[in-house]
Amino acid sequence: MSEAEWPTSSAVFFPGEDYIHHDIYPAINAETNKDLAQPGKVVLITGAGRGIGRAMALQYAHAGVASIIICSRTASELDDVESSIKAINGSTRVHKHTVDVTKEEAVKKCADVVKSEEGRLDILINNAGGSAAWTPLSDSDPKDWWRNLETNVQGPYHFLQAFLPLLVETAKKNDVVVDIINVASVGALIVLPGSSAYSISKLALLRLNEFVEAEYGSQGVNTVAIQPGGVVTRLAEQEIDTLRPYLTDTADLAGGWAVWFTKGARTWLNGRYASANWNVDRLEQMKDEIVNEDKLKVKLAV
């Protein structure tokens, strides 16, 4: 899709049309770029059983992190991801948790186990998501519509509420910046008929991301909400005919972008939205503009 086919408010081509990627590239590829190594870190990824979450887990294995905690509702998927991580880096500890992100007690139990087993958390990635069927409001199923918000907003909230104390403790004890990545969507920034549940949930996630920065940024927490790219995932396949022209990106693109973001205290993106499609070197060049003009946040144009 060309720049002219997207509304300006979508920010799809924020760094310029010449600075857009659809696949992983050297600056963000931990398999080939050893500058992205992050030994000693503990990473937790929800929705890690397949697609984007799986790609993120494998990129962190290439980055040589100490431990990867993978969460999903499907245990068999986690077994496969564990095997793939170990094939890349046999020294990386892998912890598997079968968790429904909408269940408060299950998330709290996961947090207790992580604190007991690892004693720290450096990176939290809220990747688990869902989408109700795209349909006009009057034709929608109320339970399905609301379940979408439970998965895409309540789920990240549960993990933030349960794990922020450990993240803050890790930052304080080790004098480091810890990172949160909330996987959002360009759908939060545009209005496509039929997508109300999904788009509203992702818009709410952008604002939740800003609250994390406002409340915990001064305590060493660095948070970003990302558009992971247009990836053919099980979620996207639900509306494949509508989305097909936009599904031109690999899951590895988002995996690499995540590793790049958490490599070096990129606090100039704290509380903001970003896209995995944007060239990171160009984004670095734009950081003063982004900070000084307070860009990439949810605002009302008046």
Cα torsion 185, 189, 195, 200: sign? positive
What residues form DSSP beta bridges with 255?
Answer: none
Q: Return the residue matching tokens 């939290």.
A: 124
The kind and range of the H/E element at 42 are strand 42-45
DSSP 242: H
CA-to-CA distance for 197 and 132, rounded, in angstroms? Answer: 7
Map 126-187 to HEC letters: ECCCCCCCCCCHHHCCHHHHHHHHHHHHHHHHHHHHHHHHHHHHHHHHHCCCEEEEEECCHH
What residues form DSSP beta bridges with 268?
Answer: none
Which tokens is 169 given? 């403790």
CA-to-CA distance for 250 and 232, rounded, in angstroms? Answer: 8
Q: Return the residue matching tokens 């903001």.
A: 272
Active site members? 198, 202
189 to 136, 156, 238, 246, 279: CA distances (angstroms) = 18, 19, 20, 15, 20
The kind and range of the H/E element at 252 are helix 251-263
